[in-house]
Chain A
Amino acid sequence: MATITLDTVRKVYAGDVEAVKGVSIDIADSEFIVLVGPSGCGKSTLLRMIAGLEDITTGEIKIGDRLVNKVDPADRDIAMVFQNYALYPHMSVYNNLAYGLKNRGMAKEEIDRRVKEAARILEIGDYLERRPRALSGGQRQRVAMGRAIVREPAAFLFDEPLSNLDAKLRVQMRVEIKRLQQSLGTTSVYVTHDQLEAMTLADRLVVLNGGNIEQIGAPIEVYDKPASTFVASFIGSPAMNLLNVKADGDGLSLENGAGLSGSNAKGKDSYIVGIRPEHLQVVDGPSSGDGVNLEVSVDVLEPVGAESFVYASFPDGGPEIVVRVSSHARHEPGEKMHLHADAKDVHFFDSSTGRRID
C-alpha cells in the first residue's frame, strides 16, 4: 500500500503529439482514484505511465517515496488488470495467478497459499486447472483480478476492466471491485470512459480532456459543481443542458431569442448556462419565478422505467433540452411545455473559456 504522486507528467509521442500535458495528482494511500474522460483524453496513457509500460517524457511519478520514472514495470510493485484480461492462454488459471509470484522467487507453499486465498475470495476455486479459453468473460475477469491480488501490490491499476462484459455482469463486477478494494485497502487507479462506473467506484474522480485535468474531486462534488462545460456534459446521464445566453440588461435571453427568463447576477455580456435534466420542473403555465423559465415543445418521450426523459426543442430551433419527468407523466410529441429551474440549480459558465463562474 502506498501513495502515488504524479508531478507535471507529460507524454509526447513522435511527431509532437502531446497526449498528456503536465498532469499532477496526489493519490492518497488506500484511495480509489478513477481517471475518466472520452477516448483520446490521455487517461490510458497516464495509467500506462504509472505502470511503466510507457516512458514518461517529462515530470515525475512516485510510488510511495520512490521515484519510479526509470524503474522496470516488474519492479514497481503494481498489478494491472487489462481491458481484454490479458491472461496467459497457454497456462492454467492456477499458473496464471502463480506466474508473477514464481518469477519473484517466492516459496511454493506461499504461492499456493496466496493463489488458494485469491481463488476463495473471487470464487474461482473450481476452475484453477482450466485454461482461460474454457472460461466465460466474467470468469476471465475474475482470474485477471486474481492475478492482481495474489501479488499484494502497492497499487492496483485498472485499464477499463469491465468494458468487455455485458451490462448485467458489468454492474455485478463493479460492485465486487469496490468491495474488494475496500476490504484490501489497496491504492487503486481505475481508467474508464463510462461516467457511471466512474461515479460509483471513485473516492475521487479525475476528469481528463485532451491531456489536461478538467477537474479533480469526489464524485458528488464533481456532479454538483462541474468546473467546466466539458465536465458538466461528460458527468451525468443524460448530460446537463447547456444553453448559450446573452445578458439583456438585468435579464437573460437565449441567443436565438427564444423565451428564457432569469436574472443576470454575474455581470457579464454572455454565458453558457447549465441545468441538469432533473432540475427542470414542468410547470402549468409561463412562470416568472427566480431562475430560468423556458417554453419548449416535446419531441420524444423516453421511458427508462424508474423515470422518463423528455427530449424537447425550442420553437425556432436551438439546442435540444432534456427534462427528467416521473415515469407516469404523459407527454405527447408536439405538446407545449413550460419549464422552470430554481436559481440555485442553474450553473453559469464563461462563454469563451467554458470555466465555471460562481
Chain B
Amino acid sequence: MVPYMLLLPQLAIVTIFFLWPAAEAIQSSFYLEDPFGFGSTFVGLDNFTDMLTSTDYGRVARFTAVFTFFVTFLSLGFALLLAVKADKVLRGASTYKTLLMWVYAVAPPVAGLIGVLLFDQHVGPMVDLFAMFGWKMQIGVNYFDTSFAMIVTAVWKQIPVNFIFFLSGLQGISKSVQEAASIDCRSGFRRFWTVTFPLLAPTGFFLLIINITYAFFDTFGIVDVIVKNEPGNNPVTLVYKVYLDGFRGNDLGGSSAQSVILMALVFILTIIQFRLIERRVHYT
C-alpha cells in the first residue's frame, strides 16, 4: 500500500492536469457547444471534417510546418556552431559560455516582448538595420515580415538550450579520439563531419525532438506577443489557433478537435523520441 501512497501525489497531478482535460477535450471534440453554454449537440466527426477541409486550417498548418522547420533547423545550426567555437575557447571560457546561456533564463512571453521591441516599427533596431538594406519591415501588417520576426525571436530564445546540450556533448567526446583524428585527417572541416558530428548525433537526435516540440507548443507566448492579440491575417501556429478558435471564436468543439489532433502529434513525437533514446548509441 505504501508504494501506492507515495505515487499518489504524482498520479493525482497527472490525472487532474493532464488526463482529465485530455478526456474532456476528446469528448467535446465530438460535440457542437452552444457559445453561451446552454447545451451541446453530438455531431460525430463533423468537427474534424470541418477543420480538415477548412482553408484557414490548412494555411495555419502550412505556416506551422514552415515555422517549425526553420526554428528547429536554425536554432540547432547556430547552437552547434557556437558550441563548436566555445569548445575551442580556452581563455575566459566560462564567461563566454555564461553569456551564451543567459537567454535561456528569459521566459517566452518576455522573449516575445523583447522580439517585438527589436522589430518595432518606430524604435526597433532590427527594423532600422534591415531598412539600411532597403527592406521596410512592417511587423503585424506584412505576413512575411511578421513570420520572419517570429522565427528570429523563437530561434534566439531556443539557441541557449541547444547550446548547453551541444557543448556538453562535445565535451563528452574523448580528447584522444579527436587527436587520433587530427593525425588521420588533415582537414578540420572534414574531421568535424566524419568524426565529431557522428559522435554528436545522439545529442542531435534528442535535441531535434525537443526543438520540434518547442516550436510547436512553447512558442505560444512569442506568437501571442508579436501578433498582439490581433491575429487578423497574421501568421499563427496551430497551438495558437486552438486558443483563438476556442476562446476568441467560442467554438469549443472545433478547438477541441484541433487539440486532439495536436495531442496525437505529440504522442507520435514522444514515441519517436522513446525509440531513439532506447536505440541511442552508447559509445564507450
**Residues of A that sit less than 8 Å from B by CB:** 51-53, 72-75, 78-80, 82-84, 86-90, 99-100, 103, 132-133, 147
Choice from B177, B186, B190, B281 contacting A87 with Cβ under 8 Å: B177
Chain B residues near A75 (CB, 8 Å)? 186
- Total contacts A-B at CB 8 Å: 68
- Interface positions, chain B 165-196, Cβ under 8 Å from A, are 174, 176-177, 179-187, 190, 194-195
Chain B residues near A53 (CB, 8 Å)? 179, 182-183
A74 in contact with B179 (CB, 8 Å): no
CA A80 to CA B182, docked complex, whole Å: 11
A133 in contact with B283 (CB, 8 Å): yes
Closest to A51 in B: B183
B183 in contact with A100 (CB, 8 Å): yes
Smallest distance from the beta carbon of A122 to chain B beta carbons, Å?
17
Flag whether B124 is at the interface (Cβ < 8 A): no
A90 in contact with B284 (CB, 8 Å): no
Does more than half of chain B's interface fall in helix, strand or loop, or is it mixed?
A: helix
Closest to B179 in A: A53
Category for how many chain B residues contact A: 20 to 34
Choice from A78, A84, A90, A103 contacting B283 with Cβ under 8 Å: A90
Closest to B201 in A: A90
Chain A residues near B176 (CB, 8 Å)? 82-84, 86
Closest to B177 in A: A86
Choice from B183, B195, B282 contacting A74 with Cβ under 8 Å: B183
Smallest distance from the beta carbon of B195 to chain A beta carbons, Å?
6
Smallest distance from the beta carbon of A160 to chain B beta carbons, Å?
11
**Residues of B that sit less than 8 Å from A by CB:** 174, 176-177, 179-187, 190, 194-195, 198-199, 201, 281-284
17 CB contacts below 8 A, A to B, read A53-B183, A72-B186, A73-B179, A73-B183, A78-B183, A79-B183, A83-B176, A84-B176, A87-B177, A89-B281, A90-B198, A99-B194, A100-B183, A100-B184, A103-B184, A132-B284, A133-B283
Closest to A80 in B: B183
Q: Which 10 A/B pairs are nearest by Cβ-Cβ distance?
A: A100-B184, A89-B283, A74-B186, A86-B176, A86-B180, A103-B185, A90-B198, A82-B176, A73-B183, A133-B284
A99 in contact with B179 (CB, 8 Å): no
Closest to B187 in A: A103
Closest to B281 in A: A90
Chain B residues near A99 (CB, 8 Å)? 181, 184-185, 194
